[in-house]
Amino acid sequence: MSSSVYRRLNGLFPATTSTSSLPKTPKTKNPLPKTPKTKNLLDIVENFKKSSDSEHFRNRASSYKATVRRLFNAGKLSYIEDILEHQKRYKNITNERFTVRIMSLYGKYGMFEHAHKLFDEMPHLKCDRTVVSFNALLGAYVNSKNFDKIGQLFRELPEKLSIQPDTVSYNTVVKAFCQMGSFDAARSVIEEMEKNGIGPDLITFNTLLDAFCRNNRISDTEKVLAQMEEKNVVPNARSYNPKLRGLVADNRISEAVEVFEEMRRKGVKPDIYSFNALIKGFWVSKNLEEAKRWYCEIAKNDCAPDRATITMLLFLACDEGDFDFALELCKEAFHQRFLVKSAKLQCVVDGLAKESEKKKKKLDEAKELLELGKSNYKLKVPADTKEQSYSFSVLV
């Protein structure tokens, strides 16, 4: 890496002590006295360790993620350390990809010192260290929001270990700068990448675009998009979505629509998050007709509404008294098995039943909605319909 980027890193990431020595084993919280809840968690730990004897189980990254997440949510960092340290006894630990999985889990849940310790132990564990594990170490520090060592890691490790940082390495530094609010420094990393023969990619630019929009620097997104065009990096929906959200948050909905049309002209296929950005703008302004129009556009673009889409529109439809549309949204929610609050479903049932005074069809639709979700939630049919209460299950 060139000396100029080292200077930038030195300025933004203060130098700390050398990383050459192996970090001491980090201290974790001592387990609490055994309670029924604690015993259950200990059972999870023991079952996980027993399951780890199976090669098939060790290949299931999803099981590792789910268990570590559950232990973290219970505040049991020592239990996380227990099950992950246990993995060192298996031959998989000599595989860098497996070791990186463990490092990444440590980093995701703030245990960056454990990730660093494992990185330093890799030679002893007969596991090669390449740019892949170097990137995982950088990621562990960034995900833990511990930025002060990233400059030191970049200064020392590549040369010491004969590792050449790659695009992922630089993108991680860009992400760190953005999370610190050092946006100009983040953009300058692109120059350093190119000086070292590495071109920025779509992730580099999307990281910058997202950061600029989150911090209300909409004008900077134009510069980044222009830079992407100069470097022949084709933008995707994720490149435009932050700008859409930023414009909507700034109550510039008409400009957001123009950006959406620009995406179409340039052949960029919008995703559901693009549509949700616009729909949110019309939801906030209580413009149901425009919100409905963009909802219809979703299917035309081979997208499907998600939970956020249905939630926004269902609230707006009920507020505006459009219970036909609300019923359509409820059916879509049932179809996709999204969760809808029983109070909102009750609102739709009540609205349809009230309109049944004019049209019998509305009462039939209210009954249909009740039947669609029968199981757990109790929704009361208005008294004048002469119907009994139904037991309602809303897996929507």
Residue 346 inside a domain? The answer is: yes
Q: Is residue 167 part of a domain?
A: no
Residue 171 corresponds to which tokens in the numbers above? 């993108």
How wide is the angle at C-alpha 312 spanned by C-alphas 306 and 317, nearest 5°?
120
Domain boundary pick from 100, 129, 147: 147
Spatial separation of the C-alpha atoms in residues 324 and 318, rounded to whole Å: 10
- The segments of the chain whose pLDDT lies below 50 read 12, 14-22, 25, 30-33, 375-396
Last residue of a domain, one of 147, 179, 212: 147
With respect to residue 1, please indicate whether it lies within any of the assigned structural domains: no
Report the C-alpha gap between 46 and 252 in whole angstroms.
Answer: 55
Q: How far apart are the first and last CA of the chain?
A: 52
Domain-embedded: residue 191: no
**How many folded domains does the chain comprise?**
2
Residue 352 belongs to what domain range?
305-396
In a domain, 182, yes or no: no
Residue 392: HSE in the Cβ half-sphere, 13 Å Cα cutoff: 27
Q: Which helix (H) or strand (E) holds 390?
A: strand 390-392
Q: What is the pLDDT of residues 215-229, one digit of tens each?
A: 888 888 888 989 999
For residue 387, the model assigns a pLDDT of: 38
Task: Give the helix ranges, DSSP H, for 109-182.
Answer: 112-121, 131-143, 150-161, 167-180
The answer as to whether 372 is a domain residue is yes
Residue 41's pLDDT is what? 92
Residue 274 resides in a domain: no
Say what the pLDDT of residue 53 is: 96
- Helices 218-230, 237-249: inter-axial angle, 10-degree rounding: 160
Q: Is residue 198 part of a domain?
A: no
pLDDT given at position 391 = 33
Confidence (pLDDT) at 21: 40
Can you tell me whether residue 271 is helix, strand or coil?
coil
Quote the CA–CA distance of 325 and 331 in Å, as a whole number. Answer: 10
Q: Which of 102, 120, 147 is the endpoint of a domain?
A: 147
Put simply, whether the predicted model's pTM sits higher than 0.85 gets the answer: no
List, for residues 228-283, the tens digit of each pLDDT value. Answer: 999 999 999 999 999 999 999 989 999 999 999 999 999 999 999 999 999 999 99
pLDDT of residue 339: 78
How far apart CA 322 and CA 314 sit, in angstroms, is 9
What pLDDT is recorded for position 35?
53
